[in-house]
Amino acid sequence: MGVSVDSQFANKAYADQIGVTFPLLSDFTREITTKYGILNDKFPVAHRTTFVIDKNGVIQHIDREAEALDPNNAHAACSLLEHRKEQ
Amino acid sequence: MQTRLRMMAGAVLLALASTLAAQAGPLKVGDKAPDFTLPDQNGNKVSLAQYLGKKNVVLAFYVLAFTGG
């Protein structure tokens, strides 16, 4: 899922343009971005961050800023979780 | 008297521990992900809790729509 401080309507237009099928969530009040500790203190937007959360709600992997541009590490973390499930 | 002192010390420790927990700083691997309920692009409410016990979740915070981010 994606999250940003955009409105639901901006996210709808964005989702249509880039063709995503997963939820793009709107954190317009910045409450969740703040709760996750990644609100930018210079501009009222999120720091680019990817969290991989397992089925128990525990964070298993975090990519911050430039790391989060490359989805390979998050993908590897997901594969690891899937593999763990099969065991 | 000693029992009362021990109880007081316990209460102080408890207060300290909860203060520290509240100031734990940025989230790290192994932490419980804070729950949320937010509207998706179609107005459906999505919460982390609805995936618990069912699916792993990738939560990608991006800077702004239409910025390549």
Tell me the whole-structure pTM to 2 decimals.
Answer: 0.79
Q: Is residue A31 domain-shared with residue A68, that is, in the same domain?
A: no
Cα–Cα dist A26/A7, whole Å: 6
Domain of residue A42 covers: 1-46
Give the model's confidence band at A76: pLDDT under 50 very low, under 70 low, under 90 confident, else very high.
confident
Q: Is residue A66 domain-shared with residue A39, that is, in the same domain?
A: no
Q: Is residue A36 domain-shared with residue A55, that is, in the same domain?
A: no
Please name the residue ranges forming H helices in A1-87. Answer: 8-18, 31-35, 72-86
Could you tell me the end-to-end alpha-carbon distance of chain B, in angstroms, rounded to an integer?
63
Convert the pLDDT of each residue in B6-46 to its tens digit: 777 777 766 666 555 554 568 999 999 999 999 999 999 99
The predicted pLDDT at position B36 comes to 96
Q: Is residue A74 domain-shared with residue A41, that is, in the same domain?
A: no
Instruction: Provide ipTM, 2 decimals.
Output: 0.87
Convert the pLDDT of each residue in A11-63 to its tens digit: 999 899 989 989 999 999 999 999 999 999 888 899 999 999 999 999 999 99
| Neighboring chain A residues of B59 at a CB cutoff of 8 Å | 1, 3, 50-53
Q: Is residue A2 domain-shared with residue A42, that is, in the same domain?
A: yes
State whether residue A33 is helix, strand or coil: helix
**Best residue in A32, A39, A64 for a mutation probing chain B (most B CBs within 10 Å):** A32
Q: Is residue A41 domain-shared with residue A5, that is, in the same domain?
A: yes
Q: Is residue A3 domain-shared with residue A37, that is, in the same domain?
A: yes
Nearest to A57 by CA among B51, B68, B46: B51
